[in-house]
Structure 1
């Protein structure tokens, strides 16, 4: 990793706070040398600057990240044809509608191709008064646990369309405000953690792209770069066979349906969210329900089972396949899933990659039906023709492709550690519980240039 975030950049403040310092419901006792100010003393709410050019840079809600300050992409839109909120570089965009508020969607507006940008009507735009507050410091104030939780608690409206009132930002928030120099140091530490997350995510995406290219070659040409032949599943190595999927399936079963009153305690049940997020069944969080002995026997999952999405809200998820690892306890699966248990002479880890890869995924697409809910029929799945390399080649291909997946998992764990690290720091740094003591912290230009 090129980004480094360490504990050397800050230190706990061991001194006792002045008992006469003001108190804040968000920040506790304000440190000596800091001010407690009303929010609107240091930012304007929805100033709505008027653009003098078109088209304008457009930042839609979907472009906002739940963790990072940078919008993921930009568009263009004419402000004269759209009634959204306008903003300029350095403003904070705070999503104020459910579920975006609860999820933590926010952004700091970067330099744009146009002086004025435009975005969702569901933004609260906080425009910093830069003689008082650094824009990056203001962004992190908006991302703090106390402000986020308070905003969520103040949401009003009908279920599914609740919003944070603008009055929250105009009249109800206060800011624990250090001198500008300390604001910049605090923002630098927090931004370093965000940069580490962003860099790790970039490596993850690059690894996934490389894996797709490797899979393309392996499923078309095999380990030994063979000549190819055209078959019903697609172009595959000449030495590979093609068989009906049912020929390598030992058993299969659709999942369990039980009424809502059966849920609560008992055994975990795998649902779509557990099964299809990362191609490996993840039961770290799951609903539980009571089971009969017959249900345990019929619907219990085993290591190396495959699970397919029988029904899905999105067409792209219908027929998706995942692998069942070793489980800590008896686990069953719901009715929207199909369990497939392959014969012992094939490698289930190969076929998870096969159905995700360029040959198998196109075969699955042929049997997806689109109605109110997309899905596949078990009979159609079993009738599919699939490629069948030798077991030795299955093992080699599975090892290569799962190696990419394991690397991605390790990188994602690293990104999650940086996120937890930043969240642990955020409130302490913004409240002054932890103070930046290293005056040699190198403040990046994009933070330095403000204030």
Structure 2
């Protein structure tokens, strides 16, 4: 920051939370105004998407007021930390209302709204604000005093506009580069998915003669009630814990030894067994790894393949293939959430079953493709992170007078 730049607090440089009374002076209750819920305040989008309108009387009581040119900042977790922020423009009748979790800044005449937007976009601002949040877990809000007393450098308006123009051009290029990188990554993932799909039998119009009930030692439904949980203990696998071939144990519920015994009376899950999600998301299936004890949570099914017929990982990946998923979910029920019945799982037909030797060879190729996909994902993820770091570096230079 240069010595010629003035430094003021946000409360000095902006009117924070403009009064609703000014709306009453020029609009009637039946006049339309823009309505911007929290989901329409985006991340990395400079201008607010004001796609909805309401009558003034419907929103003036309990929603937050703002006008064209105001800057909106989400104050509640996780929206604040994620950077939900934008400038209001093209509002109906120049007026908008939205979430009570917005902080509204109205810059004074010497402060450009876009300068303020970029200043509040810095990771360092969000990190400092996060450290000053208060309230209950899940409902923390950035402190009012932190916002009001936060310093902002204010160069001359023409200098603000010059630097904003540089940032606009640079950020547009970064946005394009990120979009191209993400597109390339999706194409690479689609290619790997297609190659993996080609390793498995394609059932076409003839799904096969043998059902899963014939090819498995047992297929056991879960208990249709919620297991009592505790902080430590044995993982209870619910549908969110079932990925594509693997268990996802972050945030998994856990149960006591007594609960485990009660919930595994029908069958005790063993390493090599498959757990299939019957809904949300229906069709996902994972293999229980060696050395792990788990019990079934709600809306799951245990499949124990015949060891003389199937490699567990092969069956899991076979069920995850596009054609298999399409047939498995063809009879799913539920208007909003797909739900697969145990009977349909038992009756599911398998097109062909290669020898165990062939299955092992296929899974070696699947693993090689997965390793390649992981390497590509890591490479492109690093590129995306580097682009984000470049944005923050440009912001740091902008507000220290180096652009």
TM-score grouping bracket, smaller chain normalisation: 0.5 to 0.7
How is 1:254-265 mapped onto 2 (pairs within 5 angstroms)? 254-255=221-222, 259-260=227-228, 262-265=229-232
Partner of 1:358: 322
Q: Is the 8 A contact 1:369 1:375 kept in 2?
A: yes
Note the residue ranges of structure 1 that are not aligned, 5 or more in a row: 1-31, 234-240, 444-451
Which whole-Å deviations, capped at 9, do the CAs of 1:12-54 have from their partners, x for residues lacking one?
xxxxxxxxxxxxxxxxxxxx9998743222334456999xxxx
TM superposition shift of 1:149: 5.2
Report the TM-score when normalising by structure 2.
0.63
Partner of 2:86: 108
Q: Is the 8 A contact 1:207 1:408 kept in 2?
A: yes
TM superposition shift of 1:269: 2.8
Pick closer, same or farther for the CA change 1:395–1:287 going to 2, 3 Å: closer
Pick closer, same or farther for the CA change 1:307–1:113 going to 2, 3 Å: farther
TM superposition shift of 1:138: 2.2
Partner of 2:374: 406
Distance 2:318 2:311 in 1: 11
Is the aligned partner of 1:381 residue 2:345? Answer: yes
TM superposition shift of 1:321: 1.1
Is the aligned partner of 1:369 residue 2:351? Answer: no
Distance 2:147 2:99 in 1: 21
How is 1:427-442 mapped onto 2 (pairs within 5 angstroms)? none
- Larger gyration radius, structure 1 or structure 2: 2
Report the TM-score when normalising by structure 1.
0.57
How well do the aligned residues superpose, as a CA RMSD in angstroms?
5.9
Pick closer, same or farther for the CA change 1:149–1:328 going to 2, 3 Å: farther
> Of the candidates 212, 237, 243, which is equivalent to residue 245 of structure 1?
212
Partner of 1:168: 144
> Of the candidates 31, 44, 51, which is equivalent to residue 69 of structure 1?
44
Which whole-Å deviations, capped at 9, do the CAs of 1:209-255 have from their partners, x for residues lacking one?
56457756875xx46999x8423x5xxxxxxx553222333433334
Pick closer, same or farther for the CA change 1:440–1:245 going to 2, 3 Å: farther
How is 1:4-83 mapped onto 2 (pairs within 5 angstroms)? 37-45=8-16, 61-64=38-41, 68-70=43-45, 76-78=51-53
SS at match of 2:330: helix
Q: Is the 8 A contact 2:201 2:352 kept in 1?
A: no
> Of the candidates 285, 289, 310, which is equivalent to residue 278 of structure 2?
310
Of residues 284-293 and 205-214 in structure 1, the stretch that sits farther from structure 2 once superposed is: 205-214
Q: Is the 8 A contact 2:10 2:148 kept in 1?
A: yes
**Which structure exhibits the higher relative contact order, with contacts defined as CA atoms closer than 8 Å and separated by 6 or more residues?**
1
Which whole-Å deviations, capped at 9, do the CAs of 1:302-361 have from their partners, x for residues lacking one?
2x543222344xxxx2x2313236467534332332232333444544554444443122
TM superposition shift of 1:115: 12
Distance 1:194 1:149 in 2: 30
How many aligned positions are there? 374
Is the aligned partner of 1:266 residue 2:233? Answer: yes
Pick closer, same or farther for the CA change 1:129–1:340 going to 2, 3 Å: farther
Pick closer, same or farther for the CA change 1:100–1:438 going to 2, 3 Å: closer
Q: Is the 8 A contact 2:119 2:399 kept in 1?
A: no
Note the residue ranges of structure 2 that are not aligned, 5 or more in a row: 24-31
> Of the candidates 74, 97, 115, which is equivalent to residue 95 of structure 1?
74
Which whole-Å deviations, capped at 9, do the CAs of 1:61-91 have from their partners, x for residues lacking one?
33555xx4238995744577885865657x6
Of residues 136-145 and 109-118 in structure 1, the stretch that sits farther from structure 2 once superposed is: 109-118
Q: Is the 8 A contact 2:47 2:89 kept in 1?
A: no
Which whole-Å deviations, capped at 9, do the CAs of 1:85-135 have from their partners, x for residues lacking one?
65657x6432356x6547746133499899979674443333445845723
How is 1:188-227 mapped onto 2 (pairs within 5 angstroms)? 203-204=181-182, 206-208=184-186, 211-212=189-190, 215=193, 222=198
SS at match of 1:388: coil
Pick closer, same or farther for the CA change 1:305–1:45 going to 2, 3 Å: farther
SS at match of 1:126: strand
Distance 1:310 1:137 in 2: 47
